[in-house]
Amino acid sequence: MDNLQVRMYLFTGFLESGKSTFINDTIVNTNFTDGERSVLIVTEEGEVEYKKEELEAKGTHMIVVEDPEEFTLDFWNKIKEDYDPTQILIEFNGMWDVDKFIEKERPDGWQIVQILTTINASTFQLFVQNMRALLFQHCSRSDLVIFNRLPKGAKKRPYRNNIKAMNPQCQIIYELEDGTIDNNVEEELPYNYEDHDLNIEDHDFGIFCYDLMEHPERYDNKHIRIKGKFIGKDRVQENGFVLGRYAMVCCEQDTSLIGLICISKEYRDQLIPNEWIIVEGDTHTQYDPEYGQNICVMDVTKLEGTKPLSYEYVTFD
């Protein structure tokens, strides 16, 4: 970003996800536009109607775009000529292609510095089940995902783990129905991680693996039984192999691997890729130079073949 001249903020999400409310509050009720020459590009009619006088009082000009093909280099150059902006906010139509927009030509020094995605928590599962590919488009490049209208007391792990399967690096914020922020994710797991012996149920595989990655210290010196597929030999750990399953990212052709590293000189060379197995063993934590942090690995004490699951993809319900 050495040649950064204009900062561009891309707001993605479906209609009624809270995009326009979030953008309007950012412009009108914060100091985000102070000392800036801002342009707001609106591509769909949202829940909140922008008030021209409020925007202009904050040094912000609004432009309406009705077709994604309008985003040409000439379009951006005209904005540069008319407004000489220092920053641009784009409320992006939830049915348009995010990747195509990002790849379009822009003036030198005009860079997308942040992508933010708003999601209505009350309709999230509906989109996960029926419009996963579009949801992936919104979230896969996001720096920040904001869940709003989250019912008080709702478990956050299903929301969080579905997003992390699409985009492990993004930050997530949870906004309750009353507008307050609740980012406490220390929720009750479907098992007691303090037990020494843990039998991980098939439907808890994803929840377990994500918690294992984030909190390896919780699973140090445990005895664990778990079912998954032999993915292949680990390229770092001696005698190691990966036991895993796949979480659907946007479709069956686009998945994300979730799993853990197992150590066994006895079993590793006997297994074939995608073979379903039940693994039992004792865990310990150790530093992994590839990840730059401690991880939890399993020393296998027992391994047996098993039938594939009727639905093999990881879910986070």
Q: Over the stretch 69-107, which tens digit does the pLDDT of each residue have?
A: 999 999 999 999 999 999 999 999 999 999 999 999 999
Q: Count CB atoms within 10 A of the CB of residue 93.
A: 21
Could you tell me if 116 and 208 lie in one domain? no
Give domain status of residue 159, yes or no: yes
Q: How confident is the model at residue 1 (pLDDT cuts 50, 70, 90)?
A: low
pLDDT, mean of residues 53-63: 96
Which pLDDT value is given to residue 252? 66
Which pLDDT value is given to residue 117? 96
Nearest to 231 by CA among 220, 242, 223: 242
Could you tell me if 18 and 127 lie in one domain? yes
Which pLDDT value is given to residue 40? 97
Q: Over the stretch 16-52, which tens digit does the pLDDT of each residue have?
A: 899 999 999 999 999 999 999 999 999 988 777 899 9
Which pLDDT value is given to residue 101? 96
Give domain status of residue 124, yes or no: yes
Could you tell me if 100 and 143 lie in one domain? yes
Could you tell me if 35 and 165 lie in one domain? yes
H helices then E strands: how many in the chain?
A: 9, 13
Indicate which CATH number applies to the domain containing 147: 3.40.50.300
Could you tell me if 158 and 236 lie in one domain? no
Which pLDDT value is given to residue 187? 62
Measure the CA–CA gap between 119 and 16, rounded to whole angstroms: 9
Greater model confidence, 304 or 316 = 304
Q: Over the stretch 243-277, which tens digit does the pLDDT of each residue have?
A: 999 987 766 667 889 999 999 999 998 999 999 99
pTM of the model: 0.73
C-alpha dist (Å) from residue 275 to 140, 245, 247, 306, 309 = 30, 11, 17, 8, 11
Q: Is the pLDDT of residue 153 over 90?
A: no
In terms of residue numbers, what domain contains 231?
Answer: 197-305
Could you tell me if 157 and 202 lie in one domain? no
Which pLDDT value is given to residue 254? 74
As for how many domains the chain has, the answer is 2
Indicate which CATH number applies to the domain containing 252: 2.40.50.140
Q: Is the pLDDT of residue 278 over 60?
A: yes
Q: Is the pLDDT of residue 186 over 80?
A: no
Measure the CA–CA gap between 27 and 30, rounded to whole angstroms: 6
Query: Residues 263, 284: contact at Cβ < 8 Å?
Result: no
Give domain status of residue 191, yes or no: no
| Domain boundary residue, one of 145, 176, 207 | 176
Please provide the average confidence, as pLDDT, over all residues in the chain: 91
